[in-house]
Amino acid sequence: LPSGLSQWFPELEVLDVSGTGLAELGAELLALPRLHTLLAKNNRLGGPGSLPKGLGQAPLGRSLRVLNFSGNRFAELPPDLLGLRGLQSLSLGGNRLHDIPPDIQELRSLEFLYLGGNFITSIPPELANLPSLSYLVLCDNKIQSIPPQLAQLHSLRSLSLHNNLLTYLPREILNLVHLEELSLRGNPLVVRFVRDLTYNPPSLLELAGRTIKTRSVPYAHSDLPQNLVRYLSLASNCPNPKCGGVYFDSCVRQIKFVDFCGKYRLPLMHYLCSPECSSPCSSASQSSTSQSESDSEDEASVAARRMQKVLLG
């Protein structure tokens, strides 16, 4: 960075030095008391001395809100960044990170965290101590499991975990009541989802019941057997406001929606359970493998093939 930066632009609030080949950010950066957004994507940062010392203690440490170091060479999260207590958005995607330090919990104001495209193998439980975190992106890593403590992220609205090594999700994830997007494509659990759906499609009774309810087919109680009338009365509305479908399976505890391929929202029920769960209707899991799209349920085999196409993109 030019040595006179703070003298020339003392009121500077946004600085974008992306794609300039920078290998270090000079100490002049610390003297910008109003800077709230620093973008330094696609550079050569990450070596010793690439960040100025005292970053968290300088005026910049109090003013900075958005920091983007994606596309650089950081092998670990720089300790100086953990002193940026006012930071709301941190992006370190496409670096060489192998872990997330537990001290990340010090960034109490963080709302957006992007760590996709690294070599991260695990998620520290301390990540759950970020009370304002709304968007967490951990896609394209090597993560094998999700700590149940993440259920404490009550502000979380979007969780991106696609292209990892996940085979299950903890049941506690149901407690993320504000979660709107959960991306899981490219994980082993999706392969299992497709397999189970292919061999265990919804029953003809449930498909017929959904069709009657979603298409408002008129019927009189006197025209049907009482057991069928009771079954139709058990229909529950899908909580997704964009769906409008119903489900009957009493094993369904709650539906959460998954964005597998960027365009579709599908129900995730069977995999919200512990890894030892072997039956979708076990008392441990209280989950189900039924599907949501009511307008594609005329035939179980057709539904399974369509779902498989959607899941595999």
The predicted-structure confidence for 218-231, as pLDDT tens digits, reads as follows: 988 888 888 888 88
Q: Are 294 and 214 in contact (CB under 8 A)?
A: yes
The CA–CA distances, whole Å, from 217 to 115, 189, 236, 303 equal 49, 36, 16, 21
> What's residue 198's pLDDT?
55
Q: Say which CATH number the domain at 161 has.
A: 3.80.10.10
Is 181 within a domain? yes
Q: Domain containing 26: what range?
A: 5-196
Mean pLDDT across the chain, nearest whole number? 75
Please state the domain count of the chain: 1
Is 108 within a domain? yes
Torsion sign, CA atoms 303, 180, 106, 59: positive
Is 280 within a domain? no
Widest Cα–Cα separation across the chain = 87
pLDDT in tens, 175-216: 887 888 888 888 887 766 656 555 555 677 877 787 888 788
pLDDT in tens, 105-148: 999 999 999 999 999 999 999 999 999 999 999 999 999 999 99
- Rounded to the nearest 5°, which phi and psi values hold at 271? -100, 10
Q: What is the share, in percent, of the chain residues with pLDDT greater than 70? A: 69
Is 134 within a domain? yes
> What's residue 37's pLDDT?
95
263 pLDDT more than 50: no
Average pLDDT over residues 258-278: 38
Is 39 within a domain? yes
For 262, the token pair is: 């960027």
- Rounded to the nearest 5°, which phi and psi values hold at 58? -75, 165
Is 279 within a domain? no
Q: Are 308 and 197 in contact (CB under 8 A)?
A: yes
Is 308 within a domain? no
Is 110 within a domain? yes
